[in-house]
Each structure stands twice: as structure tokens, then as C-alpha cells.
Structure 1
Amino acid sequence: MTRLLVECTHVFKNPKVNSGIQRVVRNVINQLPESAGGAECIPVVMLKGKLYRVLKLGSLNTPFFESLITFGERLERLAHRFWQLSQRLEKRCTSRFARRVLYVAYRLIALACFSVPLRLIDQVNQTQLPKRCTPLQHQPGDQLVLLDSSWHTDFFPFAEQLKREGVGIVSVIYDLIPVTHPQFYDTRLVQVFNEWFDWITKTADGYMAISATVRDQVREELQRRLGPAKASELWFDYFHLGSELDLSEAAAAVEPRLTRIFNTQEPVFLMVSTIEPRKNHDYLLDAFELAWAAGSKARLCIAGRIGWKCDALLARVHNHPQLNQRLFMFNDLSDTSLEHAYSNASSLVFPSWIEGFGLPLVEAMQRGLPAMGSDIPIFREIGGEFMAYFDLAEPQTLADLVARFESSGQFPATRDVADWHWIGWREASAQLAERTLRNVVDMPLVQVKQHANYP
């Protein structure tokens, strides 16, 4: 009997993190069906070379143990990076003696700096572990679905062992941007992602992307790396993400400074994303400066945690003459406050250079908030005729859309966002399970609908 083992190790270890991939993992796991197509679906984590069934994905709300888990996770990541460094150095060594010296040095440093401290932390955490997960024995024919951001982890050898023992490996791919557009990331992240992707191309039996656009990119990249013949032995599919903000609490307070932005008749344009180069905030500021210079009264609200390579942008915002007048920035909004922003803004604006999906678009449009986005394939896949698009080479095209919407009150898209519909996280989780099984098991499955614009 095939079982789907849906992996969520990084979120299990870091339950308080709430950025894009972590939000996806948490919602898919929480909405995971008990079975799909006759196959049992089980959320799992891989810890210390062992497989566990997840009982509780979220934290136990015990500050000491949460701090200890966080420290242990950081130490594990450092240990993994140290191991990767030793592997790269070993490959460069030409003499057997040098490799032996390197191996001994690695073992001594790893023992003193990582193995012993991690063993002590693990012994303390073992007292809490049974409350959150329980050991699970794998079986030949199981399918391990690597849903979480596994480039952060060190379970590669264990996953390879599972494969040797008859477990299929399915990799969920969110995007290939560190491979295709490395200029948007720090060198270290690009290196880690590429090492992970090299590993996953040698290990996975199939690939589940989060959009048709990414699925096609993954297929093309595998054909390039492995050759058409080898790539044809693999399978490629996709599922779409849901839209609910699961951490939003009706009784929770909304950020007071945020509420004041919406207490006027002036339109508010909302941008939601991590502050990092790929999201193209500079273009956004350029476009709104053009609009303001032409007399626009629109307000621009930027919401998102601070990421990387953004010092110049942050300085531009903090020194902007319109800051806290027509330009506002929030770097730590709760889901409750974000829900308020989605519900009260006039339009979402999303000038990203490239995306794997663009979750804020779905979150906004599902709440009836129309969206303006860069004219890239993934946004066309998600928004179709319900979005308004602008040219990334010309900030004036966005400024014109803002002015047109502001003056007419008519959103400049072909179709009304009120007629646009999208799936929720329950349907997204079912898509992942059903489409995975469709590819790995020869059994009839109810065909899920391929496009989001359905009733």
C-alpha cells in the first residue's frame, strides 16, 4: 500500500517563522487529507536519521524549549555548512595523505564544536519530542514528498538511505530563481541552493512545482542537466497554493498606525513581500514618484519583513520626502493586520521581476482586492484577465495605471476581480496529494481541475 509521507522538518523545528514557504508548508500540513486515492497521507519529519509522524506542527509554547530548539537548529545549519565545506575541500585534494589529514581535522572540529553540544541539546529536547511527534517505520513503496525548504537541513544521507530501501522521493519545487537569477541573492544562499539542487536532481524520482510555469522551468532545467533521455524517466507536475491567512485572529488588535492610513478617502496601494531586490521596490517608488509629481493623491503602503541586499532601498524609503505622508512601510505586520490591509486597500501592486507563484496576489484577489502586477508569465497564469499589467522597463506604465484608476474609479483590468475565484488550502493540499499519486501509482483518480478560474 502506497503512503504519502509529506515532509515538514524545517517548519517543525522553526514553528514561529511565517515567511512564504513556511506559510505554505504549515497550511498544507494542517489541511492534509487523511487519505487520497486510497493512499494514507502522513505528515513527517526527519530528525537525527529517524522518521517521525507529526502529531503537532506548532510549538508547545514553552519559551525555554523553543529557545533551545532555535539554537540547536542554528548549530545544525552551521554543522551542515561545515560538512559541505569539508566535502568541497576534499574534492580539491590530490593526495591521499592530504585527504586523510583533512578528514581527521574535520572529525575533531565537528566533534568538539557540533556533535557534543548537539547531543546535549537533543537529550534535553527528547523530553518534549513525544508531545509533538512519534516514531514511524517506513515501508517499500512509500513516497517521501519533500515539501519543506530542505536546502536548510542535513537529512540528505538519511533520505538517500530511504530511497535505497524502496521509498520514492518527490521534490516540491517553489522556484529556480537562485539558479536562473543568482544576482538577486547573497552568494552563500545561491551556493547552498545550487548544492541542494544538484543533490535533488540525482535523488528525486519526480517533481511537483507550485505552478505550471515553474513545472515547465524545472523540466527544461533537468533536460539541460541530465539530457532529454534521462529527464524523460522522471515526472513533472504542479499544484496551486491556497489563499487563507491562517494566523489571522478576529479578536487580535490591528496595528494602530496601519488603521490610520485607511482613515481618509485617498486610495491606498498595497505592496506585500519581503524587502529584497527581486521584488523590485525601487521600480515601485519610481512609478509612484512619477504619479505624485503629476498630482496623484494616492498612498503607497509597503508591508514586508526586511530581507537582504536592501540597505540602499531602506535608506531611500527612510529619507523619502513623502514618508508617513503618502509613503508608509511596515516590517512586522501580523496576519490580522495584513488581513485589515487587504480588506481596506484600493489595489495591490506587485512589480516583482520573477516569481514562482506570487502568494500575495492570491491572498489579495481572493478578498476582492484588485491587483496590478508586472507582466511576467506566472502572474498571467494566476491573474489572467482579472489583473492589470505594467511594463517593468517603463515605470510610467504603472504610474498611468494608478492615475487612470484614481481618476475614473474603474479598475483597469479586462474582467472584474469579483468574478475571480481561487482554491483554499484544503483544496491545495488535496491537489498536492492527488497529483502526486496520479504520477506514482497506476490507479484511477478523480481529476482535479487544472485552472483556478472555476466555480
Structure 2
Amino acid sequence: MTRLLVECTYVFEHPKVNSGIQRVVRNVIRELPEADETVECIPVAMLDGTLYQVHSLAPLDPRPHSPLVRLRILVERAANYFWLGQRTLEKRRPFRSSPWARRLLYVACRLFAFAFLSIPLRLLDRILGKQQPAPVRATPLEHRAGDQLVLLDSSWHADFFPLAERLKSEGVGIVSVIYDLIPLTHPQFCDAGLVKVFNHWFDWIAATADGYVAISETIRDEVRAEMLRRIGPEKVAQRWFDYFHLGSELDLVEDGASVEPDLLRMFKAKAPVFLMVSTIEPRKNHGYLLDAFERAWAQGSQARLCIAGRIGWKCEALVERVRQHPELNKRLFMFNDLSDKSLEYAYSHAASLVFPSYVEGFGLPLVEAMQRLSLI
């Protein structure tokens, strides 16, 4: 019997994060078939150099986070607000007009952040990283020669490369699931750190994986072309390439959950609501969309724009533009932490989805909207 070890480390460690890839991982894990005589599918997490069988992606303990986890959340939140404040401050006098003043501000902020934010975060990560996963959620798993490790989750930020290499040396096949190559093909839309990490990760999977499964035929072809460029046709011929289609389930809709009151109030008005669902980042092109709606509003349109998505990177100016907009909570709305229940409601009641993104690996909101809206 072949065992497929389906890796879901990031979602296991971050059960509340629910963006596109995490949604895909949860849906795939939930739909894994029962074992038969030929194949057994086992969800796994790779933690601190050890392979674990995952029994539950969701936390089973209803108690609140431990004090250390709550402290880390607070410190990370403080760091985000600190750097947002620094970027806002450097746009004001005297920093706006003086490169030396901006440099001095940056150095002072870096020193402060290193001492009071970065060091505490690293210490907390080290302490929390040594904690064993809850036994009811995961138990150690012995691998076997012939197992196939499917790297389903967002593994470019992972630290399990040495473990995966050891498993491969002991007869375990490695299969990499690839969602897009945007940090390679469109680096201008990504954080510089992500571009570097992703490039290193791609070199690693090019050398390590035996096969590659993309989430669309287009991405599969892009992956093969990038492999040809990096490792040449002879080695590419030794690998295999395939793809699969994503679903559109909103997997965290809870029975009895309520829709956010502000969202309900927004949809009570008769004017149509146009919905934009995505992380707020340059690639998604929110600025262009807002420009278009401002022109429509100037001509008397009562159509409303609802932006739904968490705040990402390189978007400080856009977020500030929305928050200071005269139409905010009138014809312009922004929700940064909608539950799946609220998102389901928004899809079901919007006049249309609008999606002006520059580039996508798949464009999951399009598929989600196709199941719930007649106009996209």
C-alpha cells in the first residue's frame, strides 16, 4: 500500500489564518479519501525535525491562548502598528523634505524595533517552538520507504527542509504543490524578503522534489519552463508535472455563527454593492478600482464598493486613502477580518464581484463568486 503523507504544517500551526492557500489546504485535508487496499492518505505536520500525523487541524482545546501566545500576538501587533506609524511619520515635515532626517528616523526606528520588538519576538518564538503539539491534535509518525510526501502547504517559509531531505534519503518520494510563481514572475508586487525566500525555496524544490502538482494548467506550464531554465532539460525529463482544480467551499462557516452587524447594515440599503475580495496588496489593484468608483460617484452613481480582505504589504497609502475617504461607510466600505459566515453573506447579497487583479495563480474569489453570484 502506498501512503500519501499530505503536509499541512502551516495550517496546523496557524489554525485561524484563512487566506487562499490555507483554505485550499483545509478543503483538501477534509476531502481526503478513506484508505483502501492501494492508497492511504495521512495528513502530516513537520515540527522541530519530527514527522507528526495530524488528527485535527482545528484546536480542540476551547480554552483561550496561553499567556505566552497572547503576549506574542500583542508584540506582533505592536510591531505592525509601529512600522505603519514610521511610514506615516516620514511623509511629514521635516522628514518629507530632508533625506538626512528620514535616514535618522529610520535608524532610530530600527534600533528601537530591534531592542523592543524583534528580540522579544525571537525569544517568544524560541520558547513556543519548543512546545510539543497537543497530543490530541497530532502524534509522531514513523515514515516508510515508498511513502510519498506531498508538500501541500505554503512551505517556502518552513524550516523543515533538512527533515524532508532526510526522508528522501530514506526512500520517501517528494511531491511539491505549487500555487503560483508570482514572486518570480512579478517581484514588483511582493515584499523583497518574500522574493528572496521564494527564490531559495524554488531552488530547493527543483533539486529535491520528484514531481510537481500545480493548481492550474497554466501554472504547471510555467513551472516546467522555470525548471528548464534552472536545471536544464536532462533533469527536467526525470521529473513529472501535473495539475488539479481547486474547489470553492468556505470551510470555516460555523453553525450558529452570526453575520457582522456592520455588514448587515451595509446591505440593507437599496443601492447595489460591488464586492472586492482579496488581501490588500499592490498586485490586487485596489487603487485602480477605487479610481473607477470615484469617477462613477462624481457622475452621481449610488453604487457602493465593499473591500473585504486582510491588510497585506506595500499598501499603507491605499489603506490610509480608504480610511480618510469622504465616502467611507457611505458608498465605500472596508472589512479586514470577515468570518466565513459573513463572507458567505456578502457573496450572496452583492450585485457583483469585481476583481481587477494584475496577476493570479488561480483567483479563488472568482470561483467562490461563481457559485453564489450571477454577475462577475
Q: CA, structure 1 residues 254+266, in 2 after alignment: closer, same or farther (shift >3 Å)?
A: same
- Report whether the alignment pairs 1:336 with 2:341: yes
C-alpha deviations, 1:403-443, integer Å up to 9, x for none? xxxxxxxxxxxxxxxxxxxxxxxxxxxxxxxxxxxxxxxxx
Letter in 1 for 2:62: N
Report if aligned partners of 2:72, 2:121 keep a CA contact under 8 Å in 1.
no
* Post-superposition offset of 1:356: 0.6
CA spacing shift, 1:66–1:178, aligned 2, 3 Å: farther
What displacement does 1:351 show?
0.4
Q: Please name the residue that 1:346 is paired with.
A: 351
Query: 1:230 is paired with a residue of what secondary structure?
Result: helix
Alpha-carbon distance in 2 for matches of 1:238, 1:167: 21
Instruction: Tell me the residue number matched to 2:139.
Output: 134
Is 2:265 the partner of 1:260?
A: yes
Q: Quick one: percent identity of the two aligned structures?
A: 67
Q: Any gaps of 5 or more consecutive residues in structure 2?
A: 77-118
* Deviation for aligned residue 1:236: 0.9
Q: Against the structure 1 CA distance between its residues 169 and 71, is the aligned structure 2 distance closer, same or farther, given a 3 Å change threshold?
A: farther
- Are residues 1:47 and 2:52 paired? no
The alpha carbon displacement at 1:69 in A equals 10
**1:206-225 equivalence runs, <5 A:** 206-225=211-230
2:307 counterpart of 1:306: no
Cα offset for 1:320?
2.2
Q: Given that residues 208 and 238 in structure 1 are in contact (C-alpha distance below 8 angstroms), is that contact kept between their aligned partners in structure 2?
A: yes
Give the SS at the match of 1:53. strand
**1:157-196, aligned counterparts within 5 Å?**
157-196=162-201
Alignment correspondent of 2:280: 275
CA contact (8 A) 2:184 2:199 kept: yes
Q: Match of 2:249?
A: 244
User: Does 1:61 find its partner at 2:66?
Assistant: no
Q: Kindly indicate whether the alpha-carbon contact (under 8 Å) linking 1:342 and 1:369 is maintained by their aligned counterparts in 2.
A: no
Paired residue type of 1:16: K
- The match for 1:145 is 150
Q: Deviation of residue 345 (structure 1)?
A: 0.3
Q: CA offset at residue 154 of structure 1?
A: 0.7
Post-superposition shift, 1:67?
4.9
Unpaired runs of 5+ residues, structure 1, are 76-111, 372-455
1:32 aligns with 2:32: yes
Deviates more, 1:55-64 or 1:136-145: 55-64
Distance 2:230 2:172 in 1: 24
Structure 2 residue aligned with 1:154: 159
The alpha-carbon deviation at position 197 of structure 1 amounts to 1.1
Aligned length: 332
Contact preservation (8 Å) 1:174, 1:214 = yes
Could you say which residue in structure 2 is the equivalent of 1:98? none
SS at match of 1:45: strand
Q: Distance in 2 between matches of 1:56 and 1:69?
A: 22
- 52-61 vs 217-226, which moves further: 52-61
Moved more, 31-40 or 231-240: 31-40
The letter of the residue matching 1:18 is: N
- 1:66-77 equivalences under 5 Å are 67-68=68-69
Give the match for residue 199 of structure 1. Answer: 204
Kindly state the Cα deviation for residue 50 of structure 1 after the two structures are TM-superposed.
1.6
Q: What SS is found at the alignment partner of 2:337?
A: coil
The Cα shift of 1:24 comes to 1.3
Counterpart check, 1:231 vs 2:265: no
Q: Please name the residue that 1:21 is paired with.
A: 21
Could you tell me how far apart the structure 1 residues matched to 2:278 and 2:326 are?
Answer: 23
How far apart are 1:358 and its partner, in Å?
Answer: 0.9
Shift of 1:266: 1.4
Residue matched to 2:302: 297
2:86 alignment partner in structure 1: none
Alignment TM-score, normalising by the size of structure 1: 0.68
| Alignment CA distance shift 1:122-1:230 (3 Å) | closer
Letter in 2 for 1:285: L
Q: 2:46 corresponds to which letter in structure 1?
A: M
Alignment of 1:45-124 (within 5 A): 45-59=45-59, 60-65=61-66, 67-68=68-69, 121=128
Do the aligned partners of 2:68 and 2:124 also contact (CA within 8 Å) in 1? no
2 CA distance for matches of 1:369 and 1:295?
A: 25
Q: Work out whether residues 213 and 220 of structure 2, in 8 Å CA contact, stay in contact via their aligned partners in 1.
A: yes
- Look up the SS of the partner of 2:322 in the other structure: helix
Quick check: 1:345–1:369 contact (8 Å CA) kept in 2?
no
Superposition CA RMSD, Å: 2.6
Does the aligned pair in 1 maintain the 2:260–2:342 contact within 8 Å?
yes
1:4 alignment partner in structure 2:
4
Q: Secondary structure at the match of 2:177?
A: strand
Letter in 2 for 1:271: M
Equivalent position amino acid for 1:6 in 2: V
Q: 1:233 to 1:70 in 2, by over 3 A?
A: farther
